[in-house]
Amino acid sequence: MSNDRADRTVAWVGPFAFFMVLLVLMPRLPIAQPWESIVRVVLITASLWFWSRDVLRTLRVHHALASTAVGVLVFGVWVAPDLLVSGWRDHWLLQNAVTGELRTTIPAEAFADPLVTTLRFARAALLVPILEELFWRGWLPRWMANPAWRTVPLGHYSRVAFVGTAVLFAAEHGPYWDVGLVAGVLYNVWMWRTKSLGDLILAHAVTNACLSAFVLWSGRYEYWM
C-alpha cells in the first residue's frame, strides 16, 4: 500500500463507514438533543479530517454553474413524486420490510430547537456530500471496475460499476430508493462527464441544501433520514 495518505482505502471509505455506524449507534445511546446532534457533527467532521484531509486538499470544482444545476435537478427529482402524486411514498413497493419505513434519525419534536435544525442542515449540506461522494463516486466504482482501484482514474466508465453503484446508492436510501436510483444515475453521469469529484461534491451539496430548505419550509422531516 502506498505511503501517500490520499492513496489509502480508508481515506475514501472510512468516513462513510463511520457515518453508517453512527446512524445505527447514536439513537441507541442515552444522549439527549441537542447534544446528540453536536456529537454527530463533531465526530463526522473529525473522521473526515483524520482520514480524508489529504484527498480533500486535492479536489477542485471545474464546472460550478453546471454542477449547481445538476444539484437542483436532482432535488427536483427527489421531491417531484411526492408533490405530484398524493400518497406516492405510501406504496408497498417503497415502504416495506426490506426498504423500511419513513422516519428521521432525530425525533420531529427536537427540530423545535434552532440549534438542532442548524446542525442537521449543516450535516446534510456540508458533511454528507463529502463522505458519500468519496465513497460512492470516488472509491466504489473504481474498485468495482478493478480491485486494484488506484490504477482506475476518477470518472472511468464501467457498465458494471455504473449500474452497481446506482443500485446500491438507491438501496442506501430505503423508502426513497426510487428517486435514489435516478439520483444515482444522474450523479454517475455527471462524474463520467466531468471526471471531477469536487464537482460531484458540489452537486450533492446543492441537492441536500435545497432538500433541507424544503424540509424546513414544509415541515416534512421524514426527508431528513
Task: Please report, rounded to a whole number, the percentage of residues in the chain having pLDDT higher than 70.
Answer: 99
Calculate the dihedral angle through the C-alpha atoms of 56, 66, 159, 81, rounding to the nearest 10 degrees.
110
Beta bridge partners of 100: 96
Average pLDDT value for residue range 118-142? 98
C-alpha 87/C-alpha 158 separation (Å) is 37
Average pLDDT value for residue range 146-173? 97
Task: Please report, rounded to a whole number, the percentage of residues in the chain having pLDDT higher than 90.
Answer: 92
Q: What is the pLDDT of residues 52-94, one digit of tens each?
A: 999 999 999 999 999 999 999 999 999 999 999 999 999 999 9
For the chain, the average pLDDT equals 95
pLDDT above 80: residue 214: yes
pLDDT of residue 106: 83
pLDDT of residue 39: 97
pLDDT above 90: residue 2: no
Average pLDDT value for residue range 192-216? 98
pLDDT above 50: residue 27: yes
pLDDT above 60: residue 1: no
- pTM comes to 0.95
